Each structure stands twice: as structure tokens, then as C-alpha cells.
Amino acid sequence: MTAFGVWAPGRRRVDLVLDDGRRPMEGRPDGWWEVTVDDAGPGTRYRFSLDDGPPRPDPRSRWQPDGVDGPSAVDDPAGAEWSDTAWHGRPLASSVLYELHVGTFSPEGTFDGVVEHLDHLVELGVDAIELLPVAEFAGRRGWGYDGVLLWAPHHAYGGPAGLRRLVDAAHRRGLAVVLDVVYNHLGPAGNHLGEFGPYFTDRYQTPWGQAVNFDGEDSDEVRRFVIDNACMWLEDYHLDGLRLDAVHAIVDESALHLLEEMAGAVERLSGRLGRTLWLIAESDRNDPRLVAPVAAGGYGLDATWSDDFHHALHAALTGERSGYYADFGTLAQLARAYRHVYVYGRHRSPSRRRHHGRPVSESTPGTRFLGYLQNHDQIGNRAVGERSAALLSPGRVRVGAALVLLAPFVPMLFMGEEWGASTPWQYFTDHEAELGRAVSEGRRREFAAFGWSPDEVPDPQDPATRDRAVLRWDEADREPHASLLAWHRALIALRRRVPDLGGGDRGAVSVDFDEAEQWLSIQRGATRIVVNLAARAQRVPVGPGQPSLLLASAPAALSAGGGVMLPPESVAVLRER
Amino acid sequence: MTAFGVWAPGRRRVDLVLDDGRRPMEGRPDGWWEVTVDDAGPGTRYRFSLDDGPPRPDPRSRWQPDGVDGPSAVDDPAGAEWSDTAWHGRPLASSVLYELHVGTFSPEGTFDGVVEHLDHLVELGVDAIELLPVAEFAGRRGWGYDGVLLWAPHHAYGGPAGLRRLVDAAHRRGLAVVLDVVYNHLGPAGNHLGEFGPYFTDRYQTPWGQAVNFDGEDSDEVRRFVIDNACMWLEDYHLDGLRLDAVHAIVDESALHLLEEMAGAVERLSGRLGRTLWLIAESDRNDPRLVAPVAAGGYGLDATWSDDFHHALHAALTGERSGYYADFGTLAQLARAYRHVYVYGRHRSPSRRRHHGRPVSESTPGTRFLGYLQNHDQIGNRAVGERSAALLSPGRVRVGAALVLLAPFVPMLFMGEEWGASTPWQYFTDHEAELGRAVSEGRRREFAAFGWSPDEVPDPQDPATRDRAVLRWDEADREPHASLLAWHRALIALRRRVPDLGGGDRGAVSVDFDEAEQWLSIQRGATRIVVNLAARAQRVPVGPGQPSLLLASAPAALSAGGGVMLPPESVAVLRER
């Protein structure tokens, strides 16, 4: 016996469409329609027909065995077997995250394919994996940000059962699992949500189409749809946290911002489940309100991505200055990111043509912010999707890794970064012909503005574009990859071993640097990270103490006259005795 | 000698257009254009021509002697004579406000016409007048919310010199002056701002047209335009505060909301001038963040209008339930407004079809909120603009006055309310023919939806509509007006005399009521306001103390068995001994 329900206010008639016919549903005054079917159960396929219109999948479908255009199927989360009953989650502030895309992490491109490589991640030393969105999107290939059935793990990845197996396997290994969820827009194909109710509004615009109606008439149910969805992932799939995509495009002008309401709901869920749960925002707003406590007028999220640190680091290491990297490039900015988190904390941003952000208070721990040298966007939004290892000398790659993994932030790696994967990470999609052509054309046009000729830009629709992104696991054991992997392992182990490095105390951070000589000396308590970015060896001052060397990416030597002698493009970690 | 300047980024050429010809202006890299003219001074008329286009008034014009389509004129604020040097402002929390419209407060419809009646206001006992917007709008008649030259006091009201005379005269009498300013949109006629720069954005919509660009590219100068404007009124016209119109339509998704930035600028100005300055928001958001301190994540404004109290009071007194009054009508809601400020503090609002607002913390003083029985909107947005005195029995009018003037909020009256003016306050405009027809037609259509026939709805464009709104000052001394005026004077005097009533301590407020019997008993410290709204006399309980009668609107009698016997539709104020 299964109870079906759907919110479709303003409809005169809603039918449940099963393989063997239609059942009229009963309308409630609050816009919900309900029917209970005796002989339906796990696996039963169904759709809804609104006012005798074409059958549509359930907006809250838990399973789309045939994709976005097929019927929904009844899932049975309560019947799932779990072996992680002892798991209580872990603190985000002491974790290292690892972002991965299910469809390209393994050749299989499935949840089970991810399981195959979890031991590698345990050996690497990370604490949590963060999955790019898995909610059902059109086609079999894609990054996941075009999801339209937000409650269903993608059928090509292995559906609900596959995701449960992955989370269970991760927890057995002590790994937490975070899922990227997209609440700021829906994908362009297979989105029928607007037929069911006022999920969208024209009062605001987003870069990706219609804004979601979080503050207009009948928005209570839209908010509930999203907050229930967040809680569903965390509860039914035992997930440890969510990464909320592009929250700056969630426009909610009501007195209680959706994110604050969500944080409250997740906090209550955490109490009920007895597990630590994380909410991590992605935002380009540079707004500390996201992670400030509710009592201080904040939204009470656990952490937010910090692109300024990425941009400052990327621009300093690569010398790139196009697009938004025009706002970055100096060591002073990198130092500011280390000290103050935001480089633009109410400073004028040339690329934005306005002042941007606001300062982060000194008392806000650095671990409220994620720090990374690479992520899916920063690689994949390049024309040809080169990773840092393809852009930088081996020395600079090691410097970048150290500056991320020893930062006062929560470090995050992107899959394959740890061994300098040779595979690019390019934008790919699997849309039907017409939309697909538009996407391919749009991509070519976008990069034509930056001087790329059409045949240089990979076609998102070409299956080979996805295939090129699949990690080559055999690389990891071979040079030059193996030694880079060892470097990442050593850095993570060091972060874990040295309390100065593991925490997010920004008060204990001070940074010296010389823009002309291209060195940087970062003090974190009694520990110091010393970087030489110059093409020549040089002595970098390390303060008055008598330090010892903890780790170095190249033969560094303590100098008798004070300081440390660093080879070109290298980093060393010292500890004052 | 006068230095002219204007911000017009992206223009190739800007000319200053004087009566005797054009002077090319010099462009700066920041988009400002400048020229200094030796023989220009106070009174010199000028315009700007952009890329040889038609001459336009100065966006920061201080004076438009011939209206929005005429030239700007140089004003001389530094040369003005003031007699209010000893004035240091007054605290908002202990003030009673009085909203007035310059164009209809006196038959003259000028700033000087207001001066004629200031002594009446002093005798009434109010502390501050709040002027409906005076910034130059198209035509000679209007409420003022269609302003397009935001720096120029309307020429028909008497221009800059007239406003200075009014403020000086008010301050000489101990009256503060607040000005209503509109930063959420510009009027539909005479608005050339978009030709000068990116003042507007299509990313958001407002109910009144294009949203102002407070967070997009080049928004720094747009924010500066508005914040400089706020400071200009306060500094150059010696104003004591601003009422910020409809701040819910100021969409600013950046990390530092315009209102918070403005509050900071006004706080610094207050320090520099050594005067108390008020920022008062009008908002339909029910969001305590507006008045929360910056340290608590608020915007740091001094106060906000509180429509929920108005609606609860109006609906309880009139029995009206149409439009947004559908959300109100019970004594329980009126009691909730007294206790919790917002009736909708995260409750579901039927008329909005969603949850609305958020709770006000107990520690937030009631004097962060304005309370009123009437205001320009609540009267004038009715089809025929009836005031409360035309809708309610004399007894209920007195009850309403008491519930406003003895509330834990900052009370505000609307001009003429104190004597129950017989003049309606209807919507009126003075647009050119085509726009005028559209406005008249729109008004008729709006109220057709509520069952009004076209000839019942006053024509906004008809000069008689404005004329009908002009206060008849001879009424004030005649019955039944004179005794109502005396009642208002007595209530204000009582508020001032009894410390329990003057403050905004909401912790000391408790309310008992009986919905069926239609009585209300409000305790404020040791003082109690007892209301009988029933059509029959009844005994209302007043708690265990031994009270004495301070004031009553009709012969009330302390009852030997406890409580107070109140005539129908009356109110009494008691004090425990």
C-alpha cells in the first residue's frame, strides 16, 4: 500500500497515472492532492496528470529509473540496509574535503564506481567527499547543475540504492559525504515544476533563468519543498552535509531568509538524528552573514566557499589576469586572504565595477570558509578545462597544495588534484538535439569573446568530452604523479599532526611577503609556512625564533644568519622550538 | 564663481548649457564631468547636454524654479540665514509625530503656509512634523511620491528658501522636522536619470517600475547619489530626520545593504553636526532587522512604521475586512500588536498567501516602531479617501486616538486627525494629458475591482480633488471638532506626564481582552488603558490594585466590586495607587 501526494494548487483535477490506468486524487484545501493505492509499493511506476494534461513525473519523485522524461518509481528508503549505525558524523572545522563528480571519478561513472576508490581517499587522508549534484537531470552525462527532479539520485549513477551503498561504504571507512544541491534555479530540460504550482517568479532574474519563488504568494510550499528536500538527503541517505549551490541567486526578500530557515530545520534534524550535519554555501557575495550565528543576525550556516582565496592563489601562481583574475595577482592579496579571508571585504572590485563584500570579523574562525586551489568550476569554466598541474610548474603546484592544505580554512581538493591528474575537466552535457546545439553554440560564443576559435573549444555535447574527464587511476602510481600524491598525503598528515595548522584561528595568523622578490612567510602560531615563488633560490626571513624544519617541497636549509634558504618555486614548513 | 559637476560615465562629451551658451565640461576617469564658470552664482540657470543631446536638468539640482522640465538653478545654502543655532534635535523615542502634506496643509499649499499653523501644533503637543516628499515632481499638485529631481524642494511649495524658512520656524518653536524621501523608484514623468548613468536595473522589479541599481555594476555612484542626498537634506536644511519610503522595494543583494550604509553615514553626520538625526523606514516586510543594531546584524535604523498595529486597530474599530484587512479584525490581534509589535511575526497571512514577518525580540523597545490610526496611505489609498472620523462613531475615534497616543510606540497623527477634519484625503496628480489620462483610468480600474463605479472614484487629475483635501482650519475651533482636538491634547499631555506611558518598554505591557464582550484592558506598568468597544455599557476588569481615574473619553466609574464601568465605545486611563 502506498500513499501518493502532490501539491498542485489551483488545479481542478489531478490523477495518479499508473501502468494499469488512472486514479483520481482527492484535493485538500491546502492545494495537496492525495490517493492511497493498495497494490502499489517499491518499484511501482507512476506519474501525475493535471487537469487531464500529459502525465508528468512527481516533483518529489525519489527515483526516475528511465530519466527525467520517464515515470517516477516508488522507492523504499525505510527498507534499506545500513551498516553505519555507529556513525555520528564529524566536525567540519577539522576536516579536509574532496570534491568529486560521480560520472567521471571512475570509468563506470556510478556510485559503485566511487566506492571502488574510497580506500585511496582514506590513504590520502581526507575526511569527507563532496559530490557534485546527483539530482536527476536530462540525459546521462552532465555536471549536475541542470537538475530538474531534485529528490531523485540520477538513474545513470545508480539511483537511490546506489547512493545509499556509496554513503554506507564511505561511513564504514570513516569518510563523511556531502552533496551539492541546487536550489537557485532548475535545469532547462524536463522541468515541469511550473505546471504544478507557483515555484517560479518573474520578480527577480538569475543568470540561469527564472528565479525560484521563495517570498511571493504561495511560497510557503516552495520553501517547504526545498527545506524538506535538504532534510530528505540528510536523513534518508545518511548524508553528512549539503553544499548549497550559488546561494547569491536565491533571492528572498522576506524577513526570514530561506537559508536561515533551512539552517534551523537542519539543526533540529541534527538533534533528532544525533549526528553532526553541515550546511556549506557557495556564494559570490563575500558576505559573512552567511556563517554568522543567528543571534548575530546571521543565517547560521556552517561554512561558505571562499573564491577570493582561490582567485588570489590562482592569480599569484599562474600570473593570469583575464576575466575576474583582473582583480587579483599580488602577494599582498594572497596575504590578505590568509589574514582577512576576503580580499574584497568592501573594497572596489575592478571586474565588478563596484565595491564588493564586507569584512569578516576577527573572531570568525577561518574554518567557516573553504579554501581550494581548484574546484569543478574554476577548472571547468576555462575554455579547455586545464587543471593547475597543466598550468603550473611542478614546484608551483606543490606550493599551491601547501598553501591550501595548511591554510586556516577548511581545505578542499578536486578529484585527481592530489596526483596532478592529466585528464582535463571540461563542460559536458547530454541534451536532446535542439537544446544541445544551443548549448554547444553558446559555449563556443562565450569563449570566442576571449579569443578562442570555435574548433578549439570542446563540444559539451560530444560524448568524448565527458570521456576525457574520466580519471585515469593508473596515473596515480606513476611518476610524476606518485610523488605529487605523496606530497599531498604528507601535507594532510602534517595538518593533522600540528595543532597550529589544523585550526581556524585567524588571530594567530600573520603574513610577511616581498612582492618584488616573490616570497611569502606565513606564521600560524609557532608554525611557519615559507614560500619562494621566484625563479632563483633565496633566503626568506622566518622571525626571531630558532626553527626546525618540518616539511619541504625541495631541499630547504636553515640559514645560519636567520631565515631559510629556499630553492626556486618551493615551500617549507618550520616550527619554532 | 560656481563649480558645476555631474556624473555621466560612458559619455563622450558633456556640456554645461547656460542662458548665454554652452561650456564643454572636462571628463574625469571616474565618470564625473566638471567645469567652473566665473560669472555664475546663486540663481544662475543651467542644464547639461550629453553627447550633444537635449539639455537636461542636473540630477543633483538643488532648485528647479520652473519645474521638472525647466532648467536647474544654483542655490546658495551656505548663504542662508538660520536662527536655530541652539537646536540640537530631540530623542525620537519620547516624541509624538505629525505627518503633513505641504500642498494641502494650508490653502496656500506652501512651506510658508505650514509655518502659519505651527503654533497650533505646539499647542497640540506634538514634537515633530513629518513632511510628505517635497522633492521636485512633475506638475504643481501631487502627494510627492513621483519625485524625479530628488535634491530640489518643489518650486510650487516655495523651493529651497521656503523649506529653510519652514525648518527654521519649526525649530524656533521646539518642533523637529522629518522629511519623507523616496529611494525605491522615480516618478514616471521628467525622469532623465537613466540618460546620465546606470541608475536603474532590470534584475529586479518594483510595483512602481524600474528598480534602482544599488548592487550592480557602477552602483557605487548610485549609492553615493542616494546617501549624499540623505545627508544633504539633514545638513543643508537642518532637518532632524528622514522617513525612507517603502524600503522593501529597495532591493540590494550585496553584502552591505544600502540602508545599513546610509545609517552609518547619518550616524557620522550626526556626530559631526552635534545634532540628533533620525532614520525612519517604511516597510511592509515586518522585519526587525531594520531597527536592530549593526552589531546584532541589523541595519541600525532608528525606527520603522508598523502597519500591523494600524491594520489591527483599524479593522477592530471599523469592522472592515476587505483587501489586507482580511488578515485582521480580532482584539487578540490588537493585543498581539501591543505586546509583540507585529501581528504577523512569522504567522501565515491570508492576504499574502504565505507566512510573513519575524518576531520582534522582547528587548527591542516599542519606540523603534511608529504607531498610527491614520496616515496618508491608509486614508488616501481608499477609493474616496475617508478619514477615520468619517468611518467611525465619535466614541470609537476617541478610543482609536487613545490606543495610538498611549501606545508603547512612537505615535503619529495625520494632519487634521486631531480635530477629525471633514476634508477627505484623496489621490491627486498633475500630469500632462496622456499620462494623466492613464493615471485617472488606472485609478478607476483599480477600484472597479472593489465594486466602485467609475464616477464614484475621484479623478486624480481634477484640481478639485486636491482642493478638497485642503484642511479647513476654521473647523478646528468648532464642535464637534474642538472637543476632539481637546481629547487629543489631553492624551498627548497625559503621555508626557505619566512615565509609564511615554516609554517603549514592552516588557511592562500586558493585555487582557474579551473578544465576545468587546473589551480590552491594557496594563503599562502601573497605568492601565481600559476600552469598551461594545454598544452597551459594561464593567471591565482592571486587576487587583486600587486604581484612580486619570482620564476618560466618557463618564467612567470605578466599580466598588473591582473593575471600571465604561459607557459604550469609550476608553479610560487608570493608575494604580
Which residue type occupies A512? Answer: D
B388 and B516 housed in the same domain? no
**The cell 603546484 sits on which residue?**
A397
A245 is catalytic: yes
The domain boundary, picked from A496, A522, A546, lies at A496
Which three three-digit cell numbers place residue A5? Answer: 501526494
Q: Are strands A176-181 and A241-244 parallel, antiparallel or unpaired?
A: parallel
What region, left, alpha or beta, does residue B226 occupy, with left being phi > 0 and alpha being psi -120 to 50 degrees? alpha
Residues in chain A closer than 8 A to B253 (CB atoms):
248, 251, 285
Query: Closest residue of B to A296, CA-based?
Result: B296
* Contact: B354, A296; criterion CB under 8 Å: no
Residues in chain A closer than 8 A to B30 (CB atoms):
none
Query: Closest residue of B to A219, CA-based?
Result: B354
Please report whether residue A150 resides in a domain.
yes
A450 and A545 housed in the same domain? no
List pLDDT tens digits, range B240-252. Answer: 999 999 999 999 9
List pLDDT tens digits, range A352-369. Answer: 999 999 999 999 999 999
* Contact: A255, B220; criterion CB under 8 Å: no
Percent of chain B scored above 70 by pLDDT? 100
Q: How far is B295 from chain A (nearest CA, A)?
A: 7
* Contact: A285, B357; criterion CB under 8 Å: no
Neighbours of A44 (CB within 10 A): 16
pLDDT, mean of residues A376-401: 96
Strand partners, B278: B241
Does residue B543 surpass a pLDDT of 80?
no
A456 and A518 housed in the same domain? no
pLDDT, mean of residues A328-336: 97
List pLDDT tens digits, range B172-186. Answer: 999 999 999 999 999
Catalytic choice (B260, B282, B302, B418):
B282
What is the count of structural domains for chain B? 3
**In residues, how long is chain A?**
577
Rounded CA-CA distance A339/B310 in Å is 49
The strand order across the sheet containing A21-24 reads: A21-24, A14-18, A45-50, A72-73
Establish whether the linkage from the previous residue to B458 is cis, with ω within 30° of 0.
no
* Contact: B220, A348; criterion CB under 8 Å: yes
Instruction: Residue A20: give the domain boundaries.
Output: 2-56
Which residues are CB-neighbours of A541 under 8 A, at least 6 positions away?
A512, A521, A562, A563
Which three three-digit cell numbers place residue A394? Answer: 611542478
Please report whether residue A67 resides in a domain.
no
Strand partners, A280: A243, A303
The domain boundary, picked from A471, A496, A521, lies at A496
List pLDDT tens digits, range B471-486. Answer: 999 999 999 999 999 9
A338 touches A522 (CB < 8 A): yes
Q: What is the pLDDT of residue A281?
A: 98
User: Which of B204, B219, B254 minimises the CB distance to A285?
Assistant: B254
Please report whether residue A353 resides in a domain.
yes
CA atoms within 13 A of residue B330's CA, in its CB half-sphere: 11
**End-to-end Cα distance, chain B:** 69
Q: How far is A412 from chain B (nearest CA, A)?
A: 24
Chain A contact present for B285, CB below 8 A: yes
Please report whether residue A77 resides in a domain.
no
Does residue A317 surpass a pLDDT of 90?
yes
State the alpha helices, DSSP H only, in A82-218: 102-105, 111-115, 118-124, 159-172, 193-196
Among A135, A97, A140, A166, CA closest to A413: A97
User: Which of B215, B256, B285 minimises the CB distance to A254?
Assistant: B285
Chain B contact present for A394, CB below 8 A: no
User: Which of A219, A297, A356 minimises the CB distance to B298?
Assistant: A297
Chain B contact present for A29, CB below 8 A: no
Q: Exposed, middle or buried: residue B188 (CB in 10 Å: 0-12, 13-18, 19+)?
A: middle
* Contact: B253, A285; criterion CB under 8 Å: yes
Which residues are CB-neighbours of B553 under 8 A, at least 6 positions away?
B395, B398, B399, B402, B487, B570, B571, B572
The verdict on ipTM greater than 0.90 is yes
B404 and B530 housed in the same domain? no
A477 is catalytic: no
B402 and B472 housed in the same domain? yes
User: Which of A203, A297, A353 minimises the CB distance to B204?
Assistant: A203
Among B414, B313, B287, B301, CA closest to B368: B301
Catalytic choice (B99, B168, B215, B245):
B245
Q: How far is CA A153 from CA A65, A385, B202, in A?
A: 10, 26, 36
Among B142, B152, B186, B211, CA closest to B436: B142
Residue B561: helix, strand or coil by DSSP?
coil
B327 touches B350 (CB < 8 A): yes
Q: Return the CATH number at A43.
A: 2.60.40.10
- Evaluated on CA atoms B46, B47, B52, B54, the torsion sign reads negative
Query: Which residue, among A7, A215, A254, would best test binding to B if mutated, counting the most B CBs under 10 Å from its CB?
Result: A254
User: Which of A205, A255, A298 minimises the CB distance to B203?
Assistant: A205
Query: Closest residue of A to B260, CA-based?
Result: A358
Does residue A185 surpass a pLDDT of 80?
yes
* Contact: A297, B286; criterion CB under 8 Å: no
Query: Closest residue of B to A351, CA-based?
Result: B217
The domain boundary, picked from A452, A471, A496, lies at A496
* Contact: A220, B357; criterion CB under 8 Å: no
Rounded CA-CA distance A225/A56 in Å is 17
Rounded CA-CA distance B308/B325 in Å is 10
B416 touches B326 (CB < 8 A): no
pLDDT, mean of residues B58-83: 96
pLDDT, mean of residues A136-145: 97
What mean pLDDT value characterizes chain A? 96
Neighbours of A286 (CB within 10 A): 27
Q: Are strands B97-100 and B410-414 parallel, antiparallel or unpaired?
A: parallel
**End-to-end Cα distance, chain A:** 69
Residues in chain A closer than 8 A to B220 (CB atoms):
348, 354-355
b/e code B316-338 from CB counts within 10 Å (16+ = b): bbeebeeeebebbbebebbbbbb
The secondary structure element, H or E, covering residue A141 is none
Helix A394-405 vs helix A307-318: angle between axes, to the nearest 10 degrees?
160
Please report whether residue B250 resides in a domain.
yes
A448 and A520 housed in the same domain? no
Q: Return the CATH number at B312.
A: 3.20.20.80
Q: What is the pLDDT of residue B31?
A: 97
User: Which of A205, A288, A297 minimises the CB distance to B296?
Assistant: A297
Catalytic choice (A99, A180, A282, A418):
A282
B532 touches B566 (CB < 8 A): yes
A24 and A108 housed in the same domain? no
b/e code B470-504 from CB counts within 10 Å (16+ = b): bbebebbeeeebeebbebbebbbebbeebebbbbb
Residues in chain B closer than 8 A to A216 (CB atoms):
354
Q: How far is A357 from chain B (nearest CA, A)?
A: 5
pTM equals: 0.96
Query: Which residues 238-257 of A are in CB contact (within 8 Å) with B?
Result: 248, 251, 253-256
Rounded CA-CA distance B83/B86 in Å is 8
Rounded CA-CA distance B69/B85 in Å is 36
Does residue A577 surpass a pLDDT of 90?
no
A272 and A153 housed in the same domain? yes
A373 and A519 housed in the same domain? no
Q: What is the pLDDT of residue A284?
A: 96
Does residue B577 surpass a pLDDT of 80?
no
Please report whether residue A80 resides in a domain.
no
Which residue type occupies B369? Answer: F
* Contact: A255, B205; criterion CB under 8 Å: no
Chain B contact present for A361, CB below 8 A: no
Q: pLDDT band for position B234 (50/70/90)?
A: very high
* Contact: A218, B355; criterion CB under 8 Å: no
List pLDDT tens digits, range B317-371. Answer: 999 999 999 999 999 999 999 999 999 999 999 999 999 999 999 999 999 999 9
Q: Are strands B547-552 and B519-524 parallel, antiparallel or unpaired?
A: unpaired
Among A482, A440, A485, CA closest to A458: A440
Chain B contact present for A220, CB below 8 A: yes
Please report whether residue B476 resides in a domain.
yes
Summarize chain A as % helix, strand, coil (round to 5): 35, 25, 45
Rounded CA-CA distance A15/A29 in Å is 17
CA atoms within 13 A of residue A90's CA, in its CB half-sphere: 18
What mean pLDDT value characterizes chain B? 96
Which three three-digit cell numbers place residue A177? Answer: 559525504
Residues in chain B closer than 8 A to A248 (CB atoms):
253
Among A279, A89, A118, A273, CA closest to A176: A89
Which residue type occupies A538? Answer: Q
B105 and B211 housed in the same domain? yes
Q: How far is A153 from chain B (nearest CA, A)?
A: 30
b/e code A440-476 from CB counts within 10 Å (16+ = b): beebbeebeeeeeeeeebbbbbbeebbebbbbebebb
B19 touches B45 (CB < 8 A): yes
* Contact: A218, B248; criterion CB under 8 Å: no
List pLDDT tens digits, range A365-385. Answer: 999 999 999 999 999 999 999
A439 and A325 housed in the same domain? yes
Q: How far is CA A249 from CA A287, A341, B469, B505, in A?
A: 13, 22, 45, 39
pLDDT, mean of residues A434-461: 94
Please report whether residue A114 resides in a domain.
yes
Rounded CA-CA distance B411/B128 in Å is 11
Vertex B240: Cα angle to B239 and B246 (nearest 5) = 90
Query: Which residues 193-212 of B are in CB contact (within 8 Å) with A?
Result: 202-205
Max alpha carbon distance in chain B (Å)?
Answer: 87
Residues in chain B closer than 8 A to A291 (CB atoms):
none
Beta-carbon contacts below 8 Å between A and B: 84
Q: pLDDT band for position B208 (50/70/90)?
A: confident
Query: Which residues 294-333 of B are in CB contact (within 8 Å) with A?
Result: 295-298
Which residue type occupies B464? Answer: A
Q: What is the pLDDT of residue A26?
A: 98
Residue A21: helix, strand or coil by DSSP?
strand
State the alpha helices, DSSP H only, in A54-117: 102-105, 111-115
B298 touches B290 (CB < 8 A): yes
Query: Closest residue of A to B217, CA-based?
Result: A353
* Contact: B255, A357; criterion CB under 8 Å: yes
Q: Return the CATH number at A512.
A: 2.60.40.1180
What region, left, alpha or beta, does residue A264 occupy, with left being phi > 0 and alpha being psi -120 to 50 degrees? alpha
Query: Closest residue of B to A206, CA-based?
Result: B203
Chain B contact present for A354, CB below 8 A: yes
pLDDT, mean of residues A47-68: 98
Q: How far is B205 from chain A (nearest CA, A)?
A: 5
Q: pLDDT band for position A209 (50/70/90)?
A: confident
B289 and B316 housed in the same domain? yes
Q: pLDDT band for position A235 (50/70/90)?
A: very high
Rounded CA-CA distance A29/A11 in Å is 11
